[in-house]
Amino acid sequence: MKHYFTIICFLSVMFLLPDVSYSQIDTIATADTSNVADTSGFESFFSEQELTKYLEYKPLLWVGIGSLTFYGDVRDSYYTNPLVGRRPFIAGISRKLTPFLTGDFFIMKGNMSGNEQNNGRNLNFMTNFFIGGASISYNFYHLLKKPDIFLPLEEQRILIPYLSIGIETMNFNSKTDMKDGNGNLYHYWSDGTIRDVEETPENEMISVILHRDYIYETDLRELNLDGLGKYDLSTLGIPIGFGFDFHMTKRISLRFGTTYHLMFNDLIDNVSPAGTGNRKGNKQNDSFLYTYVGIKMDIFSSEKIIDLGILDLIKFDFSKLDKSDEDGDGVIDLWDECPNTPPEVSVDKKGCPLDEDKDGIPDFRDDELASADTAIVGTNGVTLTDEQISYLSDTLPAVDMNKICDYYPSMCGLKNLKKRHFVEMPAKYIDVDTNNDGYISLDELNNVLDKFFDLKTDLSIDDIYELTDFFFKQ
């Protein structure tokens, strides 16, 4: 059975190794494109692999202690209470595989025992054991995660239940308590006492009552009580667990769990169907229940990973982000600061046309590509002369007051100033005309818009569009 434990150890080492599959990305060389837009990195930017390689979560360490209750052919009197029993410890490493699955490698060390003394059946055993195994757990992500919230489940819920199943290997070496500290063999009498000689009428007066010292000194396999010889002292098992995790901080959580270990062996207590009389056992394999509390710690992940952990990157679908490029300049619209660039015009990384002389006029319509740094240029990129600058700087003369009517006759006379020309108002907008002057003013339009957004009007969105058009046509 040693090769089973070797396999588990090998898998645990592979589990801890960093994922080197991303390293090839770092070696890709990018050509020098000067000021021309380089969009080769945009695809990898939106790649889940590229984004998550820096956010790789490290394995978590956890330790715990609990109560073990043995369920075999030889049981303690308290076997019905899972909180009373031996106190093994458990430790392991844990790593999140998906938002809903977590892998664990664990070890458990301690001892288990069974003691019976009733109805002529006087059996006891205790064994030290060591277990190494691996398991996978499910956290009910699909039922507990809140929709449309890009937070891991740990950020949304304080208590998270789980179910787990795995495989393990156990080494044991069962012994029994048959003698006291003076080497006297135990003899169980029908009156419930333990004495130093067999129960016979003639020994009743000369026997000495003994008390068990609970030192398990005798190797059960070496006794070979049932003719089984040197049977294997290791076995495989299946741990099936449930419980919940209590998340205290981003780095620390508590686990309260119960695991039922179903072993593929019926000789942990050295009692099996091969025995006879009081030593004859049932056909079920031995098993035990372990109820424990543990603490899980993230001591390897950097603060950056912890902070960015608010995004559930494993679940986030980056392929759904907008990658459209309407003007076809090689810079996606999401990052394009100059949309609608003319076709075949070279752009920089921001999607803006190149401007070598930095005069504010792009090269494709700049008639002077090398303007001086201090030059003032026109709309065609050509440096303006002093005369042109002076002309543009002069303020145009205003119209004399006595000539306004010559230039703007519509502004002259009160009658013409107040004259309005508008189409007939639709009946459904009569209530909008609060002053009943047959004209929708700007204040009246703003008033009905406020009512629309406050849901205090029966007008639909199409009515609002039509009212706005009517306002500008009247």
320 conformational bin, left if phi > 0, alpha if psi -120 to 50, beta if neither: alpha
What's the CA gap between 57 and 103, in Å, rounded? 13
Contact indicator for 134, 97 with CB cutoff of 8 Å: no
What's the CA gap between 370 and 212, in Å, rounded? 105
Fold of 2-17+35-177+214-308: Porin (2.40.160)
pLDDT value for 431: 87
Write the pLDDT tens digit of every residue in 46-98: 444 444 444 455 789 999 999 999 999 999 878 888 888 899 999 999 998 98
- CA-nearest of 306, 182, 285 to 235 is 285
Question: What is the token pair recorded at 293?
Answer: 């509390």
How far is Cα of residue 407 from the mean position of the Cα atoms in its chain? Answer: 73
> Could you state, in order of their start, the residue ranges of all structural domains in the chain?
2-17+35-177+214-308, 328-352, 355-394, 395-473
What are the beta bridge partners of residue 137? 102, 164
CA dihedral for 399, 405, 409, 415, sign (positive or negative): positive
pLDDT value for 148: 55
pLDDT value for 66: 96
Long-range contacts formed by 30-37: CB under 8 A, 24+ apart: 35/346, 35/348, 35/354, 36/346, 36/347, 36/348, 36/354, 37/329, 37/330, 37/331, 37/346, 37/347, 37/348, 37/349, 37/351
What's the CA gap between 97 and 136, in Å, rounded? 9
pLDDT value for 8: 52
Residues of the chain with pLDDT under 70: 1-57, 147-155, 302-322, 395-396, 407, 410-411, 413-423
Write the pLDDT tens digit of every residue in 402-446: 777 776 776 675 444 444 555 678 888 888 888 888 888 888 888
